[in-house]
Structure 1
Amino acid sequence: MKKAILFILLSLIINNAIAQDPVKKGKRFLYIGDSITDGNWGGGDAKPSSERNHWDQNHIFGSGYMYLCAAYFMGTFPEQGYVFYNRGISGNALDDLEKRWKDDALEINPDILSILIGTNDIARYLSSGTDKDFDLTGWDMKYRKLLDLSTAKNPNLKIVICTPFAYETENLNKQGPWNSRQKLLGECSKIIEKIALDYSAILVPFDKLYSDLLVRYPNVPAGYWLWDGIHPTAAAHKRMADMWIEKTAGLF
């Protein structure tokens, strides 16, 4: 009798603890990329994740589309106990993601992995002044390698990959001719589209989002959406979050 009572009491304590700790049952969302995802989360300043603030709930998601996605899912489905991680770092390119993939992706081991990368790869290439062609094949292989590492650790991983974007500004033209940047952005987006198909991933075509906005609102300056040609404004981050949420609806 005493054992039965003790068992019931322990069960009540454990169930109560689980109910108060949604992290134990919630899906883990990881958003990784460059400054567009970063949004100065945890203090920003292009610092590595290990040097950022991981407890301040006022700033842990930064200020951008990632924050808006987290706000939507956590606010709309509080009983699901969803857990979100921002691992965007300003200035990052695919090479940088590769260097920190173990700490910032594999260690978190998310259920949903979202990647937005590419614009800094192209910016670095154009600024280098090299005569060599951008290594699209190598870029493709490296992207796939990171996905392979994550799917090997979590075979049930859901992948969301986003296309890079930009629009022409005087400042961007100082780094290299716009037509070259536009061409490479398009080629990287095609690679991402193929990767999404091969990995049964969700594709979020942010490049098409921005081209559509410019057509749909011809009287609105392009800077209203991307203030410097690369970085989204609050209005654009809202549109990005809306698209991300819409495209991933089938995952939940």
Structure 2
Amino acid sequence: MQLTDDDTLLFIGDSITDAGRDRADPASLGDGYVHEIARTLRERTPDGAGPRVLNRGVNGHRVYDLESRWGTDVLDHRPTVVTVKIGINDTWRRYDRDLASPVAEFEACLNRLLAATARELSARLVVITPFLLPTGPDQERWFEDLTPRTDAVLRAAEHHGAQLVRADLVLPHAAQDRPPAELAPDGVHPSPAGHRLIADAWLAEVAPMAPAPRR
């Protein structure tokens, strides 16, 4: 299904989605993968318009924070494509604040959000998996929490027929050819190059370029 100028693409998640957007400006997209996706889609459109794009990422948020604002930040905008990227803070807060987010509860919450969206809207669902490029042994141990959480994200996406963007595969694969810090200096927050990789993975999955006509 090709995106059109009539589509509204809404992205929601944590700081990786937020990417420094101006909260006082509802149209602000930040400087991350959402901005890159919007720019690419405009460039592909002959008149330079492209779909409407909304960024509703908020730094620091976990899945429960998304649930508290899902009605106003997602459903009220009646988007035609909803992209969710969440999970790394549910892991991170366990290690820096001893704030638990049991995987079963996390999965149940994400399921509720996707189910509510499917029930209230006729929107395409897209889920971006959480990822980590460890900067040292302390972050390496996060995988004991993040790996089962990523599995939960995969199950929820499959259950609700969501398209999947596997950031957990794309970024580690790219890090094989360069220092991981070039893609995520603190292991979590992408650099411009890391954001571009996420944007390209989203575009390949959700809005692939139509093949050129054969001559």
- On whether the aligned pair clears a TM of 0.5, the verdict is yes
Q: 1:227 and 1:91 mapped to 2: Cα distance?
A: 17
Q: Rg: which structure is higher?
A: 1
**Secondary structure of the equivalent of 1:31?**
strand
1:109–1:150 contact (8 Å) kept in structure 2: no
What letter corresponds to residue 223 of structure 1 in structure 2? A
Q: Runs (4+) of structure 1 moved beyond 4 Å?
A: 78-81
Structure 1 residue 233 corresponds to structure 2 residue 191: yes
Aligned residue number for residue 109 of structure 2: 142
Question: For 2:158 and 2:209, how far apart are their aligned partners in 1?
Answer: 16
Of 16, 19, 22 in structure 2, the residue corresponding to residue 36 of structure 1 is 16
Supply the AA of the counterpart residue of 2:190: P
The AA in structure 2 aligned to 1:29 is L
Provide the rounded CA distance (Å) in 2 between the counterparts of 1:190 and 1:97: 19
Deviation per residue, 1:19-63 (Å, 9 max, x gap): xxxxxx610000000111111112xxxxxx5xx2235xxxx1110
Identify, as 1 or 2, the structure richer in helix: 1
Report if the CA contact (8 A) 1:113-1:159 is conserved.
yes
Instruction: Give the distance between the partners of 2:189 and 2:200, measured in 1 at CA.
Output: 17
Counting matched residue pairs gives 206
Give the CA deviation at 1:230: 0.6
Q: Is the 8 A contact 2:26 2:54 kept in 1?
A: no
Give the percent of matched residue pairs that are identical in Structure 1 and Structure 2.
Answer: 27
Which letter maps to 1:95?
Y
Question: What is the CA RMSD across the aligned residues, in angstroms?
Answer: 2.3
Which one of the candidate residues 35, 44, 63 is aligned to 1:67?
A: 35
- TM-score, with structure 1 as normaliser: 0.75
User: Which residue of 78, 96, 117 maps to 1:109?
Assistant: 78
How has the CA–CA distance of structure 1 residues 104 and 120 changed in structure 2, closer, same or farther, with 3 Å as cutoff? same
Aligned to 2:213: none
What residue ranges of structure 2 are gaps of 5+ in the alignment? Answer: 211-215
Pick aligned residue for 2:145 from 175, 184, 205: 184
SS in structure 2 at match of 1:95: helix
Identify if the C-alpha distance between structure 1 residues 193 and 251 changes in structure 2 by more than 3 Å, giving closer, same or farther.
farther
* Residues 1:166 and 2:128 are matched in the alignment: no
Whole-Å Cα distance in 1 between the matches of residues 40 and 123 of structure 2? Answer: 21
The answer as to 2:159 corresponding to 1:198 is yes
